[in-house]
Amino acid sequence: MISRDRRDWSECDGEANRFIEYKRENPTKRDPFERTKSWKEFQIIMPEPALRQQGARCMDCGVPFCQTGTTMDGSGEIGCPVYNLIPEWNDLVYRGKWKEALDRLHKTNNFPEFTGRVCPAPCEGSCTVAISDDAVSIKSIEYHIVERGFQEGWIVPQPPSKRTGKTVAIVGSGPAGLAAAAQLNKAGHTVTVFEREDRIGGLLTYGIPDVKLANQTVERRVKILEEEGIIFKTNVEIGKDVSASQLKKDFDSVLLCTGATKPRDVEVEGRELRGIHYAMDFLTANTKSLLNSNHEDGEYISAKGKHVIVIGGGDTGVDCITTSVRHGAKSITQFDINRQKPEERTEKNPWPLFPIVHQVEDGQKEAQAVYGTDPRSYQVSTTKFVGDENGNVKEIHTIGVETTIDEKGRKIRTPIPGTEKVWEADLVFLAVGFTGPEQRIIDELAVETTSRSTIDAEYGKYMTSVPGVFAAGDNRRGQSLVVWAIHEGREAARECDRYLMGSSNLP
């Protein structure tokens, strides 16, 4: 850790109690209504004095829970999964030592420009200041550190000084695959990343709208990784274009980072009607068309002039709102099967756990600005879809439900009599989660799976039942956060390096 000797504070006009003097400032964003007219990112760079002031709010606490990166069984998560050295780079930003802050940030996180944009910031929920005040604006400071690094030209390719002669194939170029590739390449192995889509990035490119994480941000980092020696092969699907057995034969080790891409369905009457789509099909087609032709090719599902219903209250559902409002939807409604979250923590959700509280996400703020109301409806369960004479969806029938947890931890949904309702719908997006990874490559490699259909590979070791084949990210842990995928990619790289070399110096 960097020394926090109190004798140094007078030299930089700092005190350890600035979290009392300064209040949290959230990053400035363009007006919700105005920003819906484009696909550009809408966060505005904060002036340096304000950022240094925000860094000063970090209270130099004895135990920095923000960087803990752990889970409590049955309770939730605490702190940053990649163990970011948050108090250190907060202090460095306060002191104006931006390059040193960047160095500390990159020690634990290969891609802070991704997490600084799309991470829900579990670190802030575990910030000690947040016990009785607003948390330190950690995510915003992280974003500004890395963007300052690119602006100043400090982030440059750093290829390894020598190669080991070992080869590794990584299947999937999402956050887990890219993090693993960066680490294994750093160790000197020759790394080839296979991606079945036409662009590198996986979820980062086609699962998150460009307005939240611009493709040029992903490409900027991929270019650096290429210059460091990583080989990227797009439009190559393992199990189709190249057999999994051939891949294992051609490389010394294989790392599966294929994600959990099998969408969960809503199995009710009328599901076969036209106009009902999985959320990821909608989001992927939209971004691909946007990047290829600025939507001029028409190769996407347009929400323009339509009554849109999004089934699912999570981030993917919000991304569907973000996209639909920019298309010019006539109306947007988001179904959440759960109750509205409380405004403050409950006794069952104490600090330093990630706070389960009511929030209005950016996409919901945009819908509210355009249509006048928050798009969410709570405790709503779909009972059937109704179509017109041409087989197109025109209505959704729902009922209110009460959710309880039984003694085995299972959710029980009980219908509430008298809450039946009919909703007009021209376009429906299913955003109710994922059931696990796709099976083709798993079956070909004869890799064992768990009862949840995820790849069976022990956390911390990542080796599958097949020697030399590893797994990391959502295909191993199930649907999760980008920051957890980066964490697992880094750890799996270390274990893969150990397998290849007998030991590893990777963190």
Q: What is the DSSP string of 281-336?
A: HHHHHHHHHHHHHTTTT--S---TT-EEEEE--SHHHHHHHHHHHHHT-SEEEEEE
**pLDDT tens digits along 186-231:** 999 999 999 999 999 999 999 999 999 999 999 999 999 999 999 9
User: What is the Rg, in whole angstroms, of the alpha carbon atoms belonging to the chain?
Assistant: 23
pLDDT of residue 303: 98
pLDDT of residue 15: 53
**pLDDT tens digits along 445-456:** 999 999 999 999
A 10 A CB-CB count for 215 gives 19
The three-point CA angle 379-383-389 to 5° equals: 135
- Residue 2 binned pLDDT confidence (cut-offs 50, 70, 90): very low
101, pLDDT greater than 50? yes
Q: How far apart are CA 469 and CA 462, in angstroms?
A: 9
Of the candidate CATH numbers 3.50.50.60, 3.30.1380.10, 3.40.50.300, 3.40.50.1370, the domain formed by 265-432 belongs to 3.50.50.60
pLDDT of residue 76: 81
Pairing state between β 167-171 and 76-78: unpaired
Domain 6-152 has CATH 1.10.10.10: no
**pLDDT tens digits along 110-140:** 999 999 999 999 999 999 999 999 999 999 9
Q: Look at the domain 167-261+435-501 and name its fold.
A: FAD/NAD(P)-binding domain (3.50.50)
Fold match flag (6-152 vs 265-432): no
The pTM of this model reads 0.94
56, pLDDT greater than 50? yes
Pairing state between β 231-233 and 190-194: parallel
Q: Alpha-carbon torsion 152, 155, 157, 159, what sign?
A: positive
Mean pLDDT value across residues 469-498: 97
- Residue 16 binned pLDDT confidence (cut-offs 50, 70, 90): low
Q: Which residue has the higher pLDDT, 9 or 481?
A: 481
What are the sequence ranges of the domains in the chain?
Answer: 6-152, 167-261+435-501, 265-432
Q: How far apart are CA 36 and CA 48, in angstroms?
A: 28
Nearest Cα residue to 369 out of 336, 404, 322, 402: 322
